[in-house]
Structure 1
Amino acid sequence: MTPPTMRPDEHPDQTALDDASETSDDRDGFEDLLADWTPGRTDAKRQEQRDAGRAALRVLRDDGRMTRSDFEDELLPAFAVEDQSKETWWRKSVRPALRLAVDDGRAVHHHGPPHEYEWV
């Protein structure tokens, strides 16, 4: 007897792989937090900036409390955005994501000096 034909993506082994591919961002709710944030002028730039912002949220969550220089030390150059200086990277890619977390109540901004962000 021939087994029934099924599409590869319907095979139980593939379904399990789909479940396993869920990112920590999805579980942490970062995608929901960043859903309405549309930085950059092109899709490629937008993706780079969202990746940098997402990484900033992740590292803040893991480390608890950080300054701007902590973010730079931890994330640059791995999450640099093409054609952005360190200053522009901070202003347009990292700080906006942190502000979203503050507005959502997930983080607190302690006005300095030094300015610090803390995950709550």
Structure 2
Amino acid sequence: MESLERTFDEAEEAVRRRKASSTSPVADQTSVFARFVRGKVLYRDMVLQEDDHIHVTKFVVPPATSSATEQQQPNEAPVVEYNAIVCDLTSAEIFVLKENGKYTRLLVQDLRNGSVVIDPADGDENE
């Protein structure tokens, strides 16, 4: 009986992994791999650590408090982009120094749900 349950659980896990690793845009937007391990954040195919130069893209969702607000702004969310340097990492937050000299924090949960995207900064740009 236990081996049957274990086989069933393994099959369910394989299906979950297959769905999570699919390349469909819906899967990419709903959940992105981001994990804090030993002072580093594993994010997509990168390892973020202190002193890394990154390019941050934030998709700002306007608050939907009334229907008038939704009518004023079409289906386009404002996007904020900037270059930054990683200053500190925790399991819940990434503290960065933006190019304008201000410190800000990025939530790991926002990385996971796709509202914040981090890419390596281009070496050609002034950082």
> Please, what TM-score do these two structures have when normalized by structure 2?
0.26
Where is the strand percentage greater, Structure 1 or Structure 2? 2
Where is the helix percentage greater, Structure 1 or Structure 2? 1
> Please, what TM-score do these two structures have when normalized by structure 1?
0.27
